[in-house]
Amino acid sequence: MIERSEREALVVGMTLVPTLVSRNRSFAFFEDQDVRRAKARASVLRGIVRHLAGATGCVELLDVSHATEGCELTYALPGMRLLRRARLAGVELACVRYLAGRVGVVGLRATEEDRVILEMSLRSLARGLRLADLDLSKATV
């Protein structure tokens, strides 16, 4: 079982870099229930960003309301007759803001605090996956 902070770091990594861990090369890794949940959550977050970027039509009613634990992101896609509410942890909102800002979503950009949260998560993930131990001199591009 993966700790919450490790799971959040994995969600961040898989959201920002979907090809971070190859399923074919790391099949046993993906058999873990927590890893499958993290992969599914990352997919949901990327889907939210696609919606906000206008891939499925114009977005209306974009709202982020903060609660004691995390927040709720609400938006509407009238062309699809969709009203979506997503409860997000703080680190997940940081991912959505970061990616939304990169694709030019108006009104949703990463703050400096978001960048710090994401950087800390990625560093934690790098330690957990021991990415620093990899010999990249033999890597092929």
7-36, pLDDT tens digit by residue? 889 899 989 988 777 665 665 666 778 888
The chain-wide mean pLDDT, for the chain, equals 84
Residue 50 tokens read as 């696609």
Q: Would you say residue 92 lies in a domain?
A: yes
Q: 135 falls in which pLDDT band (50, 70, 90)? A: very low
At residue 1 the predicted structure's pLDDT band, cuts being 50, 70 and 90, is: low
Residue 35, φ and ψ in degrees, nearest 5:
-65, -40
| 14 lies in some domain | yes
Residue 34 lies in a domain: yes
**How many structural domains does the chain have?**
1
Instruction: Tell me the pLDDT tens digit for each residue of 57-91.
Output: 889 889 999 987 889 999 999 988 999 999 999 99
- Assess whether pLDDT exceeds 60 at residue 137: no
DSSP state of 35: H
Q: Which residues form the domain of 99?
A: 4-53+88-131
Q: Is residue 81 part of a domain?
A: no
Q: Enumerate residues 6+ apart whose C-beta is below 8 A from 47.
A: none
CA separation, residue 13 to residues 81, 83, 88 (Å): 31, 27, 16
Full-model pTM: 0.82
Rg of the chain over Cα atoms, rounded to whole angstroms, equals: 16
For position 126, what pLDDT does the model report? Answer: 82
